[in-house]
Amino acid sequence: MERNQQLRRQLASMRQSLFDQGHLDEQFILLEELQDDANPNFVEEVVTLHYRDSARLITTIERALEKSPLDFNKLDGYMHQFKGSSTSIGAKKVKAESTQFREYCEAGNGEGCMKTFQLLKRDYATLRRKLEAYFQLARQAGPNEIACRPK
């Protein structure tokens, strides 16, 4: 029992830090509120779907950034899709970097695109790692109500 309580405290702390560090926004809370006994892994399922789809887009964008000259319309299109997917899980930092990238596309600024993309990939990987650890801990802690909304 005590071990379980410790796990839940750890889980709550992990979750809070994701918001405090600016990785997640309100959209993630919406997903948590939709999770119920009939769909106990809903949030993890949605996040898994997101990473499956977005990993493909990251590769596509990387390849497009290797081409010369850069096709800003195509890059913008790919990033538009990526941003939409990130928005749906509440990936706040990644969403902001996607917006920045698209602004550089509109300006035809290839260097800006590349620099922003490196930041985006870093934060994307960080969030993915943190969420994987979070869900792994959640499975250890067992089924329970998701931790309360951040104060």
Q: State the residues that interact with another protein by CB under 8 A.
A: 27, 30-31, 33-34, 36-39, 42, 45-46, 49-50, 53, 80-81, 83-85, 87-88, 144-146, 148-149
**Residue with smaller CB distance to another protein, 38 or 69:** 38
**Residue with smaller CB distance to another protein, 1 or 38:** 38
Q: How far is the CB of 98 from another protein (least distance, A)?
A: 11
The per-residue DSSP string of 60-102 comes to HHHHHHHSSS--HHHHHHHHHHHHHHHHHHTBHHHHHHHHHHH
Supply φ then ψ for residue 20, to 5 degrees: -60, -35
Distances (CA, A) of 47 to 72, 107, 108, 120, 130: 28, 32, 32, 17, 12
Q: How far is the CB of 66 from another protein (least distance, A)?
A: 26
Q: How far is the CB of 12 from another protein (least distance, A)?
A: 14
